[in-house]
A = this chain, B = another copy of it.
Amino acid sequence: MPRTKQQFEEIRLKSQKRILDAALEVFAKQGYHLATVDAIAKTAGVSKGLMYNYFKSKEELLHELMIGMMENMMAEFLPIKPGEKLTKKIVTQMINEGIDLVLENPKYWKMYFSVFVQPDVMNMIMDKIMEMLQPYFKALTNYFEEKGEKDPVAMTRYFSAVMDGIQLHCMIDPKTFPAEKVKKILIKQFA
C-alpha cells in the first residue's frame, strides 16, 4: 500500500525544510560560490540527488532561500497589516528589531547582503524582492509625509539606505559596533 497523498506531502515538506536550512547554513558560512552542493547535502543529511528532486539547481536553491528569508524578515520587520499606518512606536520597533536581527545572526545577513552585490546572476531575485518591498516603502513614505517631511519619497530612500548601512556595519563588525548608541541616534532622527 502506498502512502497517502498527505503523508507524501509531509515527507516532502520535511525534506525541503532540511535542505533549505542546510543551504542557509552553508551559504552563510562559505558564500554562494564556495558552497558546494555536496556540502549542503551532507549538512542536510540527504543525498545530492534528493536536493535536485526539490530544487532544480544550486541557483534555484539560493532563490528559494532568499525569498523565504525575505518573507520571514518582512513579517518581523514590518509587523503591520496592509493599509494600516505606521506610528512612531512601530518605526522605533523597526529600528530596534532591524539591528538586533543582524546582530543575532551576522552570517545569515552577510549572505543576504552579498546577493545584492553579485553581478548579473541574481537579477531575477532583485525584481522579486523589490516587489515585496513596495508596501514597506509606501507605508514609510506615508509616515514621513504625515510627519511633515518636505520630500517623503527621498526620505524613505534615505532611511532605507541608512538602515542598510548600519546593518552592513553590524555584520562586518558585530563586536565593536556601537549598536545601542546608533539605535538612539536613529530613533531620534526618524521616529
Taking Cβ atoms with an 8 Å cutoff, the residues of A that contact B are 2, 28-31, 33-34, 47, 107, 110-111, 113-114, 116-121, 126, 151, 153-155, 157-158, 160-166, 168-169, 171-172, 177-178, 181-182, 185, 189
Contacts and interface: CB of A to CB of B under 8 A. Distances in A.
Contacts of A153: 178
Nearest to A122: B31
Given A151-B181, A154-B181, A178-B154, A119 B161 contact: no
Contacts of A151: 178, 181
22 contacts: A2-B47, A30-B120, A31-B121, A33-B33, A34-B119, A34-B121, A110-B117, A110-B119, A116-B172, A117-B117, A151-B178, A151-B181, A154-B182, A157-B169, A158-B166, A158-B178, A158-B181, A158-B185, A162-B162, A164-B165, A165-B168, A189-B189
